[in-house]
Chains A and B, each alone.
Chain A
Amino acid sequence: MIPQPIGIERNATLLADALGEQQNLGAAESFALAHERGDIAAGAARYRGLMPAAPPHPGQQYAFEVDLDRCTGCKACVTGCHNRNGLDPGETWRSVGLLLGGDDAQPLLRHVTAACHHCLDPACLSGCPVRAYEKDRHTGIVRHLDDQCIGCQYCVMKCPYGVPQYNAARGIVRKCDMCTDRLAAGEAPACVQSCPSDAIRITVVDTDLTAATCSERFAAVPGAPDASYTRPTTAYVSRSHAAPTAIAVAAAPAESHPSLVVMLSLTQAAIGILGLAAVLPIGDAHGTAISLGLGSAVAGMVAALFHLGRPQWAFRAVLGLRTSWLSREIVALSAFAGLAAAAALAHALQIGGDRGLVALTGATGIAAAFASAMVYRDTPRDHWARTATPARFFLAAAASGAVLLLLAHRLSGEEIRPLLVGVATAAVVAKILFEVWDGWRQAPSTARQLLGGALRPWWHMRLAAAAACAVLLGATALIAQPTMTTVLACALWLAGDGVDRHLFFRAAVAPRNP
């Protein structure tokens, strides 16, 4: 019934021809641009007016200036930068935010294009443990040295504008360099060239701008991070005087860093046990305590290596000691682990002096915990930039250390002393009370909202682990040979402490460009 298509062979020929033609990309098929063109960017005549007349003099630097009245939110700057700079798929160095606000008479809809603000006090630079940032003496451009970077991502936490972008495939951070190469050749940066609205220009500013001036230059962008932290140089210009109040959008949880969670929990436990071992009467559990402390310290530091994009260059972290708390943390923790190893060796060889070494290790550990806390305290994330951060870390050290000390006791066959149980219970309760008080009352509202909302399951898990741990600790005082109970209490405590550190990262919403 169905008429058969005719000419099977013709079909085959047509198909073969089509498939052949489809793959032919040859010159005969193309209409390539016939004429040679030169090295000067085609838009040069247009963008000349968007560039400074002369490069910066001493005491001056380059800066972005954005005319918000011209920015339509078309985002061509983002893609122009991406293409002209040959960035990786999905990698963007510019962003465009949207501010909504105003009133019914004058509703406000404002797009804000932003990239690196090439700050006068760049926090990325001061925070970098390996000196992978430099601020160019002549141009003021904050450049990132890709080959120096170890991928610690601390600059991502330090920058109040969310500028440095971690490129996981390469294991390094990359960021806007204001098209340094182009500027040097007299060419406009990619974003300036790509903006159909001429909304972005390059200007020259004095390098002695005060924080107040920098803040004023951001006045048209409500909700921008406090300019006094880094003194950004970008100016946002608008003829509209209506100072918009942006409508707040509920923040999403921030990124967690599992390796850092493990590192912080374990190194603090190590610091705690060795610190407590130096001051509490622990008798024959001394050697086990040193071993447990050393083991935790090493495990924590190995975990930290997994956080780095390029751990093989981690030794460069000594370079940043002068300005970077991360550098100080790495050096102090290394010293701590080294001293713990020395103490363990001294104890194993029974050459004496190990008690003194433990005391020294404990003292170094306290310095390291302080450095750890300062790594976070010294960022623009309001959840971290509080005294609560050192308090959290020291309480964690005390509680984890005390719980581990109980374990050391059990493992070395010592009788559990009521004093140690008392110390452990007190430290654990203190830490939990602190967490509850901080999470419910003290933390910034964004963090509290997250803990009560999206992060609530984690929060419940943390409290359940702590409660179970407390019950087990009580049980250790009643049971005759509570080895398993102690191991379990320890494991629960450390897991719960890890969850606390996970929440510490996730509840810390990062400030960012609009």
Chain B
Amino acid sequence: MLAESALRLADLMLRRRGPLSTELEQVAGGFDLGRIPARLAPEELRTLICGFCSTGCALDVHMRDGRAVNLTPSPAYPVNAGMACPKGWEALAPLSAPDRAATPYLRIDGALRPVDWDTAMRAFVQRFRAIQVEHGSEALAFLSTGQMTTEEMALLGQVARGGMGIDGDSNTRQCMATAHVAYKQSFGFDAPPFTYEDLELSDVLIFVGANPAIAHPILWHWVLRNRRNPQIAVIDPRLTETAAMATLHVSPRPKSDLVLLYGLAYLLLRRGWIDREFVDRHTSGFADFARHVDAYNPERVCSETGLAEAQLHALADLIRPGRRVSFWWTMGVNQSHEGVRTAQAIIDLALLTGNIGKPGTGANSITGQTNAMGSRLFSNITCLPGGRTFGAAQRAEVARVLDVDEDAVPAAESRTYDDIVERIREGRIRGLWVVATNPVHSWIDSAGLGEAFANLDCLVVQDLYRTTETAQRADVFLPAAGWGEKTGTFINSERRIGLIQKVSRAPGAALADFHIFRLVAEYWGCAETVRRWTSPEAAFRILQDLSAGQPCDFSGIGGYADLQRQGGIQWPCPAGTEQPATQRRLFADGAFFHTDGKARFVIDEPRPAPERPDPTYPMTLLSGRAGVAQWHTETRTAKSAVLRKLSDAQPYVEIHPDDAARLDVGAGDRVRIVSRRGSAIATARPTRSIRIGQVFMPMHFAETNRLTFAAFDPHSRQPSYKMAAVRIERFVASRRNNGPTRSGRRNQ
């Protein structure tokens, strides 16, 4: 009795275990998970491809009591082998954000008010019809995304372009249009040739305008697994995280990369380091190419790029015969006023040296958004479904597969994003339907765009959140179900088709984009053109039929269950394919997709960037991805408390310490960045990772695109986000606001 009381007293004084510590106590969770908190032990795992970037990692969502309670990266998936970046780890958090829309909204007397679906759809259709009657179909447009499933993109393309007869573009124009055009012209089809294993099998990896360590962390994982002691070169004006880990970093002047690449070809030709047999058998246009690059001697190249001759030779030294050389590019190339030709200069180097079709080689575009690849093939914007060019025969073929009239198949490419935005600014487009994208933040030179959007006769926004910069201006808001609340497929950078599925219930009356598109067709009165699109899996079968006979043929996939069983399947996978290998690259046989079977050398004269520094705006503004925890305009990543903690809350600008000293600006001081378009306030971050005369701002802050200069690649119409002339001024605040702007929390 006494002992018991003493024990209880002792426990009162020193409690080693109790409800708080059991909260975190672990059990063996089964499912190869190892130990996990007992309260989160799953009853079932459901595998989904991550919905952020194009790496296409698979995530196992832990289901307990019919709810998604946690997730871990899939250990057996060939892409990510148990790894994920913070966005993937936090993929469930955006679903339960408090600003998820649970009902449609309609702007009534200036304010968005909740309405039911029928009211919203009628308003949408009637207002669009009214605009159409008054101003014609060209006064209507849609802007969509690389974040939906391929089934949804294809359905949107069919409903909007085929059924409603309106033009539209997708935000993949902002990231991948250049690669799409470059491949199409060079290879005869938009066919990224590589498989991720090539990162592991290369002797030399050359990254041009790419920062995979931060932008595609799980791809970088493949590089780290390379056991061939690889040489890694990074061509980038900034010392990025990738450049910091490279064996060679060269930083040419911004937008001088085309000259640099031609200069490399010059050196390789001089040294005879080319694969003449491959060039003769599998390419066309070599003679013109050789003549063209003959003008790019080291003297010229060094003077135009600002590099030392030794750096140029060091780069060329890497590409010696006998080595497996792979070239990788991302937005540094794509987002340029001459991005297509720059991408093709990379392709030219791979063709010249025969570094294609073999393990550890390739001219490889790393894609941006999770399903940009699906968009490129099936969104019905720059090509007919399945990557078909616009032509009478192709149109007839598509109409036959879809079982619709040829009238319901578009006859030409759609108007491009920049054209649509210009027409909105001019008041020529009066009705706009925005699906899962946030152009008021993300579009280049966005100053004043919000007002232009607000002046539309009808702005329909379809999104998860009512709070995006674009959604706030909507006249009709349609609540969408998100990743994790719907079923469908994505295609990743290496052409791997993977599955997403439901793990969570959409809030209230939110609907999958797939459902919404079917409703639009029904209300618009064009449901006949999408009669067969009854479910995502039915749509997938249609896509398979559309792909049959095309280079991207995946008619051999046995439906969703097969994708799940095999862990994603790369195209091509034509009918009759038995159990395809997990890692497959294209062009092993040297057969390209042009009718002559050859790849083409494509060349052009480099052009100076349209806006360059001058005495009034003496510095160059670069923009790009800054951290792993932020995604684009942050509509989703900002919903996760952990991701917020892992990123900067306030806009900042990287500046060379010498430039900072000249402006009398210290770390953490505020500066004003001024361009001809607008100005922005940001915190200075002096670092020697940026060159003197250049500054860098992350694209995740809306301020950045008020400064950018709207230049476009003439072939891809992709915006050149990474080159604008600016001036930096020390920002003198009133005394009241004199405190440091850096947030108190850690830069974790």
Known contacts: A33-B60, A98-B747. The answer to whether A146 contacts B30 by CB under 8 A is no
Q: How far is the CB of A125 from the nearest CB of chain B, in Å?
A: 14
Q: Tell me, rounded to whole Å, the shortest Cβ–Cβ distance linking B292 to chain A.
A: 34
CB proximity of A40 to chain B, nearest CB, Å = 7
Q: Is the CB of B515 within 8 A of A21?
A: yes
Closest residue of A by beta carbon distance from B82: A43
- Cross-chain pairs A/B with CB under 8 angstroms, 24 sampled: A10-B527, A11-B522, A31-B499, A37-B31, A37-B33, A38-B30, A42-B32, A42-B33, A42-B82, A73-B241, A86-B37, A89-B641, A90-B645, A96-B646, A96-B748, A131-B14, A145-B15, A146-B23, A194-B89, A196-B220, A198-B224, A247-B657, A252-B740, A252-B744
**Other-chain contact of B522, A1, A14, A43, A249 (Cβ < 8 Å):** A14
Chain B: interface residue total (CB-CB under 8 A)? 121
Are the C-beta atoms of A29 and B742 separated by less than 8 Å?
Answer: no
| Identity of the chain A residue whose Cβ is nearest the Cβ of B505 in the assembled complex | A23
Chain A residues positioned under 8 Å from B519 (CB to CB): 11, 14-15, 18
Asked, given contacts A78-B646, A97-B747, A247-B667, whether A25 binds B503 with beta carbons under 8 Å apart, the answer is yes
Let me know if A108 and B89 touch, CB within 8 A: no
Please classify how large the interface on chain A is, using the bins under 10, 10 to 19, 20 to 34, 35 or more.
35 or more
What's the nearest-Cβ distance from chain A to residue B73, in Å?
Answer: 8
Residues 151-184 of chain A: 1 if any B CB is under 8 Å from the residue's CB, otherwise 0? 0000000000010000000101010000101100
**A-side contacts of B269, CB under 8 Å:** none
Please indicate the chain A residues that have their CB under 8 angstroms from the CB of B687 in the complex.
100, 107, 109, 247
Residues in B whose Cβ lies below 8 Å from that of A172: 20
Contacting chain A: which of B210-218, B424-432, B434-442, B614-622? Answer: B210-218
Q: Does A461 contact B (CB under 8 A)?
A: no
Does A351 count as interface, using CB distance less than 8 angstroms? no
Q: Is the CB–CB distance between A39 and B28 below 8 Å? A: yes
A479 at the interface (CB under 8 A from B): no
Across-interface contacts of B121 in A (CB, < 8 A) = 11
In the complex with contacts A31-B501, A84-B72, A182-B35, A69-B133 CB distance below 8 A: no
**B668 interface contact, C-beta 8 A:** yes
Cα–Cα distance between A282 and B464 once the two chains are bound (Å): 72
Cβ-closest 8 pairs across A and B: A41-B34, A90-B641, A42-B75, A147-B18, A454-B739, A79-B89, A250-B668, A86-B37
Q: Are B213 and A108 in contact, CB atoms less than 8 angstroms apart?
A: no
Question: In the complex, what residues of A have CB within 8 A of residue B130's CB?
Answer: 2
With a cutoff of 8 Å between Cβ atoms, the chain A residues found around residue B486 in the complex are: 22
Contact for B218 among A33, A131, A182, A196, CB less than 8 A: A196
Is B624 part of the binding interface, using a Cβ–Cβ cutoff of 8 Å? no
Nearest CB on B from A354, distance (A)? 34
User: Which chain B residues border A248 with CB–CB below 8 Å?
Assistant: 667
Nearest residue in B to A86 (C-beta to C-beta)?
B37
Q: A72-B213, A75-B748, A196-B221 are in contact. Are A31 and B29 (CB under 8 A)?
A: no
Query: Are A148 and B214 neighbours in the complex by a CB distance under 8 Å?
Result: no
* CB <8 Å contact, A78 and B14: no
In the complex the two chains form, what is the Cα distance from A6 to B526 in whole Å?
A: 10
- Knowing A74-B214, A146-B21, say if A92 contacts B645 (CB, 8 Å): yes
Assembled-state Cα–Cα distance A437/B637 (Å) = 47
Q: How many angstroms from the CA of A74 to the CA of B212 in the assembled complex?
A: 10
Interface residues of B, Cβ cutoff 8 Å to A = 13-21, 23-26, 28-37, 39-40, 44-47, 60, 63, 66, 70-72, 75-76, 81-86, 89-90, 93, 117-118, 121-122, 125-126, 129-130, 133, 213-214, 217-218, 220-221, 224, 239-241, 244-245, 481, 485-487, 499, 501-506, 509-512, 515, 518-519, 522-525, 527, 560-561, 564-565, 627-629, 641-642, 644-646, 657, 666-669, 685-689, 738-740, 742-744, 746-748
Tell me which residues across on chain A come within 8 A of B503, comparing CB atoms.
25
Cα distance A5–B224 when bound, in Å? 57
B71 cross-chain contacts in A, Cβ below 8 A: 83
CA distance in complex: A92, B519 (Å): 43
The closest CB in chain A to the CB of B509 belongs to: A19
Q: Which of A22, A162, A182 contacts B481 (CB 8 A)?
A: A22
Task: Evaluate contact between B32 and A40: CB separation under 8 angstroms.
Answer: yes
Closest B residue, CB atoms, query A41: B34
- What's the Cα separation between A198 and B81 when bound, in Å? 13
Complex alpha-carbon distance, A232 and B499, angstroms: 46
Contact, CB under 8 Å: B89 / A147? no
Can you add 18 more A-B contacts, CB < 8 Å, to A79-B86, A109-B241, A148-B14? A10-B527, A11-B523, A19-B117, A29-B501, A30-B44, A39-B28, A41-B35, A92-B642, A95-B746, A96-B748, A103-B688, A146-B21, A193-B82, A196-B221, A198-B224, A250-B742, A252-B743, A252-B744
> How close is A364's CB to chain B, nearest CB, in angstroms?
24
Q: How far is the CA of A511 from the CA of B487 in the complex (A)?
A: 48
Taking CB atoms and an 8 Å cut-off, the chain A residues in 485-504 that contact chain B are none
B213 touches A74 (CB 8 A): yes
- Complex CA distance for A42 and B129, rounded to whole angstroms: 56
**A355 proximal to B (CB < 8 A):** no
Q: Does A7 contact B (CB under 8 A)?
A: yes
Which chain B residues lie closer than 8 Å to A287 at the CB level?
none
Determine if B20 and A83 form an interchain contact, defined as CB atoms under 8 angstroms apart: no
A contact residues around B83 at 8 Å (CB): 76, 194, 196
> Across the interface, which residues of A come within 8 angstroms of B15, CB to CB?
145, 147-148
Q: A453 at the A/B interface (Cβ < 8 Å)?
A: yes
A208 in contact (CB, < 8 A): no
Of residues 28 through 83 on chain A, the ones whose CB sits less than 8 Å from some CB of chain B are 29-34, 36-44, 46, 69-70, 72-76, 78-80, 82-83
